[in-house]
Amino acid sequence: MRVLWLSPWMRTLSRVHVEALQDAGHDCLLVTSDQHYEKTRPLPYERVLDPRPKDPRTIGPLLKAFREVRAWRPNVVVVELVWDPRWLMLARLAPMVHLIHDDAPHDETESRPAWQRRLFSGFSSRAKRVVAFSDYVAEQLPYPASVVPLTSDVRERDLPPLAEDRRDFVLYGRMSPYKNVPVALKAWEKHLLSGQHNGDRLILLGDGPLDVSEQDLPPRCEWRRERFAYADVLPVLGRAKGSVVHYRQASQSGVQLLSMQLGVTPIVSDSGGLPEFQPPDEPGIGVDDVDGLADAFARLSDPAAAKRRGEAARLHFERTYSADLVGAKLAATLANVAT
Domains of the chain: residue spans and CATH: 2-151+323-335 (3.40.50.2000), 156-320 (3.40.50.2000)
pTM of the model: 0.91
Mean pLDDT of the 175-194 span: 95
Report pLDDT for 29. 98
Q: What is the Cα gyration radius of the chain?
A: 21
**Percent of the chain scoring above 90 in pLDDT:** 68
Question: How far out from the chain centre does Cα 33 lie?
Answer: 17
CA distances from 313 to 6, 8, 20, 148, 235 (A): 31, 31, 22, 20, 17
Report, as an integer, the average pLDDT of 296-324: 96
Q: How far apart are the first and last CA of the chain?
A: 9
Query: Which of the four pLDDT bands, split at 50, 70 and 90, describes residue 70?
Result: very high
